[in-house]
Structure 1
């Protein structure tokens, strides 16, 4: 048990920051810390399943974090639906709730918008390969598929991403300073 504890501490010290960054790119900082903690709790509980040799440890942890994030997203959606129902019950039954226009103010960068236009699966593939800098084999481990399947998914996701950029008349490399249009009357 002591050996397992010391090996776990080493695992935690080695990979905590990587898993935290992975989660922080997908959710707010507080939730990212919770997701990271849950990921390492699962690693402790499923210690015999953790690949401790080679380059598979971090992708395995990313795979666990991905599932924890999915659970968090489902919980958040259920919570949002409950809040919406409570608000709707307080209003007339015929009233339709309009989304808050302030939610989407502060416009995201063009590439981030194009990335958001993709399906969650495509977005995850591109983020694993781009942000997390995983190999196709490692990303396949995270996504629970074969490297060949991951290579196809990556090719298709990249093609769809480039199509969204082209549709929006954007380049793959954004200008460092966004162009601002002024209206002339």
Structure 2
């Protein structure tokens, strides 16, 4: 075991429980382990930055930033599910109950898509890239990416139809968060 491994092992052994409790007071469920793992991954990568006399406050600071990133990710996910399902026609009016059902249906439908479909939809809806820009990210021609995007949208609509079969109706458009006063 080299010096860095030994230093990290001691850091982990000494502070893992404290970091776990810090995160557990702020996160519910199985995400605690993921956040703690991310904290110690950062500590491993930046081992030379960890203060020797006050490592625990530094680890708490890292945990706070990891938690903030997780929160941003959740907000982006919610925005993504709304934008992916929305179509240009915003004239359809839905009541709040339809919006809640629709959000759930969108999340379920999106999760059932293949990873490749999810990625192209995220690039266009979440990152707000054009099909041409998404093509660069994916290392594809513009035409190939445009076709992938069209097919991914078609599969998402099909999934939305399947998810909404048990509901009264699935709205064709979903209002933005600002429409809800958020």
Normalised-by-shorter TM-score class? 0.3 to 0.5
Give the structure-1-normalised TM-score.
0.47
Structure having the higher Rg: 2
Give the structure-2-normalised TM-score.
0.48
